[in-house]
Amino acid sequence: MSVPTSIKWEDNQLIILDQQKLPHEMVYLTLNSIEEVFDAIVKLKVRGAPAIGITAAYGLALGASRHETEKLDDFLELLQEDFRYLGSSRPTAVNLFWALERLMSVAHSSTSVNGAKTLLLEEAIKIHVEDEATCKKIGEFGLSLLENRRRVMTICNAGSIATAKYGTALAPFHLGAEKGKEFDVFACETRPVYQGARLTVWELQQSGVPVTLITDSMAAHTIHSKGIEAIIVGADRIAANGDTANKIGTLGLAILAKSYNIPFYVAAPFSTFDLSIDSGAQIPIEERNSSEITHLGEIAIAPENTKVYNPAFDVTPAEYITAIITEKGIIKPDYKENIAKIQ
Ligand SMILES: CSC[C@H]1O[C@H](OP(=O)(O)O)[C@H](O)[C@@H]1O
């Protein structure tokens, strides 16, 4: 059994596991240009907030390596355009912008184009390496919260393949498997792109973690009939007051958790916090193609020209969140106060 990963920087090449091919095929893609990175993010070949940030960082470094100007000012202008381009791929996960901004500040500290190119790649590698350690810490803090709970529900895939390794919401399960702590994980399939059915089930099976797949509509009944003891989810952007954007369907689970009086945990690194916004009302919610809902692959499951609303995320108000598990520790309400304290 092993914890799967989805991003590699090897022999000066960016290689990703094409998450659109899982669970039936493990297809590795080499992304040779910023355009290929952009395409991979938009098409969810790489997805998951931290993984998007890591891949975009490598994408910016790749794009920079192609710029031929030797004038630093011109180079930085081209880099700013590349930042805007990659930043337009997906709007909700703040990790994308956090990673790109980290590289931009490194580039602006350079005194030469070649120096900047070297520093950009080094910073992308740092972000990648740091994220694995970050997720392991989240897993350890998460395990401490779940030590007396076995039946846990989750949604989407906030797992190892959505990060550098281990994941956020799934990190306690992967670490638990290594430490002999047993869980029974109930994974919501996560319409319309099925990250739960296709990715979380596959990922937990790689680690030998018992996992049961349910449809999203079964969540309430499952919490009641199976005695779910906790819900743990990832995040794409957390506002200064703790309001959290995550995969569509997360808000419903948070409301159910409150109704059934079970803890609702958000697991996320500090790179997912956006302290520039006061509340979740300011989080941009990505709306994706209607075909994700009206079609199963090539097969139409709705009448032609059906009107569709396809938000990829929703926002859970902080008052529904029992605790936010980060690499720096477990944050409990009052979130505005305690996020400011711990950062
Ligand atoms: C640790 S992944 C965080 C987050 O990202 C996922 O969204 P997507 O699959 O659209 O990239 C999902 O919301 C996860 O919880």
Report the percentage of the chain scoring pLDDT > 90.
99
For the domain made up of 141-341, give the CATH fold: Rossmann fold (3.40.50)
Do 316 and 299 contact (CB within 8 A), yes or no? no
E-state strands within 34-98: none
- pLDDT at position 195, please? 98
User: Cβ neighbours of residue 115 under 8 Å, at least 6 residues apart?
Assistant: none
Q: Is the pLDDT of residue 343 over 80?
A: no
pLDDT 10s digits, 138-195: 999 999 999 999 999 999 999 999 999 999 999 999 999 999 999 999 999 999 999 9
Q: How far apart are CA 288 and CA 75, in angstroms?
A: 33
| pLDDT range class, residue 215, cuts 50, 70, 90 | very high
For the domain made up of 7-132, give the CATH fold: Four Helix Bundle (Hemerythrin (Met), subunit A) (1.20.120)
Structural domain boundaries in the chain: 7-132, 141-341
Q: How far apart are CA 196 and CA 276, in angstroms?
A: 30
> Is there a common fold for 7-132 and 141-341?
no
| pLDDT range class, residue 117, cuts 50, 70, 90 | very high
**Pocket flag, ligand 1, residue 232 (CB < 6 Å):** no
pLDDT 10s digits, 36-72: 999 999 999 999 999 999 999 999 999 999 999 999 9
**What integer is the mean pLDDT of 289-313?**
97
Using alpha carbons only, give the angle 89, 93, 99 rounded to the nearest 5 degrees: 80
Q: 195 alpha carbon to ligand 1 midpoint, in Å?
A: 9
Per-residue tokens: 179? 């430490």
pTM: 0.98
**Pocket flag, ligand 1, residue 236 (CB < 6 Å):** yes
| Residue 236: active-site member | yes
- pLDDT at position 1, please? 76
Options 39, 74, 131, 236, the catalytic residue: 236
